[in-house]
Amino acid sequence: MRIAVLGTGSVGRTLASAFARLGHEVTVGTRDVAGTLARTGPDGMGNEPYSAWAQANPEVRLAAFADVAADADLVVNATSGDASLAALRAVGEDGLAGRVVLDVANPLDFSRGFPPTLSVQGTDSLAEQLQRAFPQARVVKALNTMTASVMADPRGLADGQHTVFVCGDDAAAKKTVTGLLAQLGHRDVLDLGDLSTARGAEMLLPLWLRLYAALGTSEFNFKIVR
Ligand SMILES: NC(=O)c1ccc[n+]([C@@H]2O[C@H](COP(=O)([O-])OP(=O)(O)OC[C@H]3O[C@@H](n4cnc5c(N)ncnc54)[C@H](OP(=O)(O)O)[C@@H]3O)[C@@H](O)[C@H]2O)c1
């Protein structure tokens, strides 16, 4: 598949290299290609400059949001939750129309420090906001409930015996995403239902953040026993 990954942070990079390893044609999207490549210091999360990562991942291309989805079969939204609408606007309606959009973002509000709160919850979700803004996109929420390394390499944790949730209105789009999750090594894909169920997946984040603090590591996941 041709996969456009919106986002140059930990998630964008980790998923991009995992998809490339699986043989997919991957392009990462950013606001300003030259600006992103010119960064020399670590980003806010301590990640090495994008150019250093790109050198180690030469098969992954970099493009501006406006160009990244032109021939993509699937678009991954791995941008900051408070900027996801802006990022998708930069991709543009034409770039998203008819495309599966795998939304891994969380609507985290860091304005009052850590742990962040949710900027949307209860009766709405970020995934639904994106779907309303781009009605022709086929938004599927998944992978937002685990850290990037577990998203991309689930077998590295408890031999992959843990759960990933999938939410969306378009059955074929969910099937495409489920196939991609299986390629990554996810064994327990739990379809929660239509896109409104993304509220539940996003509202797991306050719990995820407390587990992160209590366990002292981000290398864990939810396992739904039934
Ligand atoms: N980190 C994790 O392990 C993890 C786990 C689960 C879910 N998530 C979610 O996944 C998403 C990505 O997380 P991350 O830590 O990889 O990266 P991040 O720092 O949250 O987001 C980085 C991306 O957001 C873009 N961005 C920032 N401000 C923007 C703006 N005003 N307009 C357009 N784009 C903007 C950046 O664009 P540029 O490339 O132009 O700088 C960059 O590509 C987040 O929503 C996060 O909550 C993260």
Q: Is the CB of 221 under 6 A from ligand 1?
A: no
In 3D space, the residue among 98, 55, 75, 109 whose CA is nearest the CA of residue 7 turns out to be: 75
Q: How far is the CA of 23 from the centre of ligand 1 (A)?
A: 24
Given this model, what pLDDT does residue 44 score? 86
Q: Is the CB of 36 under 6 A from ligand 1?
A: yes
Domain ranges for the chain, please list them.
2-215
Give percent above pLDDT 90 in the chain: 99
For 2-215, give the CATH class.
alpha beta
Nearest CA to ligand 1 atom 47: 106
User: What dihedral angle (degrees, nearest 10) is formed by the CA atoms of 80, 84, 89, 94?
Assistant: 110
Residues of the chain with pLDDT under 70: none
> Which residues does residue 72 pair with via DSSP β-bridges, in sequence order?
none
Given this model, what pLDDT does residue 19 score? 98
Residues in the chain: 226
Residue 140 phi, psi dihedral angles, 5° rounding = -125, 125
Q: Is the CB of 12 under 6 A from ligand 1?
A: yes
How far apart, in whole angstroms, are the C-alpha atoms of residue 148 and residue 114? 19
In 3D space, the residue among 124, 141, 12, 118 whose CA is nearest the CA of residue 65 turns out to be: 12
